[in-house]
Amino acid sequence: MLSVEEGNLRTWSPERMYLPTPSWFRHHAAVKRLNDYVSGLIERRWALRRGERTQPQPCNRREDVLDKVLSAIADADWGPEAIRQVRDEVKTFILAGHETSASMLAWTLYELTNNPECLEKVRAEAAQVFAKRKLTNVPARGDLDALRYTEVGG
């Protein structure tokens, strides 16, 4: 993605932030496009949620993380500033949180499949720690702390 590439380049050449080069303008246009897209999603979801509140029939829609964030905002606080703040949180979840965690998991699984001994230890630890939970249950924070080998190795 254009903006991510520009962000990476700025790590080594921070002056790129201030120089009005063609790539500076392309970056700003790309950021605006992304911001408008995400703000549009948020505004549509807010409108959907408002509509659902006035519907006589309960809605069976499955709520996601955006619903959880929006449910914390009072009607009186809704406006451009709230939209901007939620937009930035969504961008953090997706751009900072999703790709990093996904590639960390992908590489971890790759390394484990190349090291069957370690894989076996991780599997055994998971089986022991999660034994009390059904597969559909989300683990508790304490369960994760108990994954000593998985977290720090042997």
CA dihedral 20→22→25→26, nearest 10 degrees, is -150
Q: Which residues ranging from 7 to 36 are in contact with ligand HEM (CB under 6 A)?
A: 11
**Residue 102 in contact with ligand HEM, rule: CB under 6 A:** no
Residue of the chain from 1, 4, 65, 96 that contacts ligand HEM (CB under 6 A): 96
Stretch touching ligand HEM by CB under 6 A, among 30-38, 60-68, 90-98, 141-149: 90-98
Residue of the chain from 36, 51, 100, 140 that contacts ligand HEM (CB under 6 A): 100
Query: Could you give the residue ranges of the DSSP H alpha helices within the chain?
Result: 2-12, 22-54, 65-71, 80-91, 99-114, 116-129, 141-145, 148-152
Q: Give residue 23's identity as a one-letter amino acid code.
A: S
User: Contact positions toward ligand HEM, by CB under 6 A?
Assistant: 11, 92-93, 96-97, 100-101, 104
